[in-house]
Structure 1
Amino acid sequence: LYLRFTAIAVLVCLPAILFGAGSEAGFRVNLTPSYPLGLWRIAPLNRATRVGDHIFICPPLTEEFRRARERGYLRRGICPGWLSPLIKTVVALPGQSIEIGASVVIDGVDLPRSAVQPNDGSGRPITPYAGGAVPPGFLFLHSPFKGSYDSRYFGPIPADGVLGLATPIFTFGP
């Protein structure tokens, strides 16, 4: 009986221990379609963020992101307010000009795969960002996934939320 209890306790606790150890080592499981599903790692970023970097970033704890959490755009996670970090690509840096129409235009150049949707995946209206210059200390983020919740809708977000580079370890899909 003691051995059965010990075996059950180990089987129940092992996933929690592995999850905790993986989180401490910077491993994250992506279950959203914005980037390939699977295991990712937050790799240290020992330089300034650049256009083209795939990053993990904590969204700011604002009313916009609280609403996004309520609508199911964000999961619970390690960021302030128990929000999940976003995996996104940096597409514009401070000083760059953003125009939002049918798609995103950065410094006069169309951003591929950036069509702005009038509704979210549940058919609810979603308001796009108004556009303007990316302010100092902020980043404009994007995912090529059509239904991604990114800066097309929430605008630039503070660069101090960057956790590190998003490095795929074991992923599935495009």
Structure 2
Amino acid sequence: MRFWLLALLPLLLFPLGLRVNLTRSMPVGLYWLDSNNPTRGDFVTFCAPERWGTAGYTGRGLCPGDTKPLLKQLCAVPGDTVEIAQDGQVLINGQLIQDSQALTIDRAGHVLSSDLDAGVVPAGFGLAFGRSTASFDSRYFGLVPLGAMRRAIFLIPFSLME
């Protein structure tokens, strides 16, 4: 019974702009997609760049390549400075993003590369990170167009895993 409810839940909530996150890279719960432009610190949803999405890191969904949108936190906006320390940790405007170094191998043993470059974030782009060291985010695919992001308001936390 619980499985059928989980399978139907996205279909019922989608037209209302509601989304459910069950991944560990962001808080588990119910989110509402807002039409306002995202700002630093907001949760955002967007499609991974197609070459990454089709690599199997996102699951099935409504993005190009039949992949699932990502839910991350917008950590850097235009004008912010991104640095990459010797140990691979990312700093934004001199502030360390804890546990932000990119992994070199995924859970399946495949080699990962990073498209993230140091420098000033240009107009129209942002940097989005998950809260897990294993999160698939800007560590790997780099900057994301702000126009491709939707702000996601965290409404209700819950855990279906317990």
TM-score, normalised to structure 2's length? 0.79
Supply the distance in 2 between the matched residues of 1:166 and 1:122 (Cα, whole angstroms): 32
For the pair 1:115 / 2:105, whether they are aligned, the reply is no
Distance 1:112 1:43 in 2: 27
Q: 2:61 is matched with which residue?
A: 77
Tell whether the 8 Å contact from 2:54 to 2:65 is kept in structure 1 after alignment: no
> Match for 1:96: what amino acid?
D
* 1:86-113 alpha-carbon deviations (Å, 9 max, x no partner): 1100100012121224210112221123
Larger radius of gyration: 1
* Structure 1 residues not aligned, in runs of 5+: 1-11
Match of 2:122 among 126, 135, 143: 135
CA contact under 8 A between 1:55 and 1:89: conserved in structure 2? yes
Matched with 2:45 is: 56
Q: Which amino acid aligns with 2:94?
A: G
CA distance in 1, matches of 2:155, 2:61: 19
Indicate how the Cα distance of structure 1 residues 145 and 108 shifts in structure 2: closer, same or farther if over 3 A, else same: same
Separation of aligned partners in 2, 1:163 and 1:58: 10
Aligned to 1:156: 143
In structure 2, the CA distance between the partners of 1:112 and 1:19, relative to structure 1 (3 Å rule), is closer
Residue 110 (structure 2) aligned to one of 124, 136, 161: 124
Which of the residues 5, 16, 23 maps onto 1:32? 23
Q: Which amino acid aligns with 1:34?
A: S
Query: How far 1:19 moved relative to its partner?
Result: 4.1
Could you tell me which amino acid in structure 2 is paired with residue 149 of structure 1? F
- Cα distance in 2 for residues equivalent to 1:19 and 1:96: 35
Q: Aligned-residue CA RMSD in angstroms? A: 2.3
Deviations 1:25-80 (A, max 9, x none): 12223232212334x2233142x3211111222334x32x2xx432x311121223
- Is contact 1:59-1:86 (8 Å) kept? yes
2:34 counterpart (38, 41, 44): 44
Structure with bigger helix share is 1
Residue identity over aligned pairs, in percent, reads 33
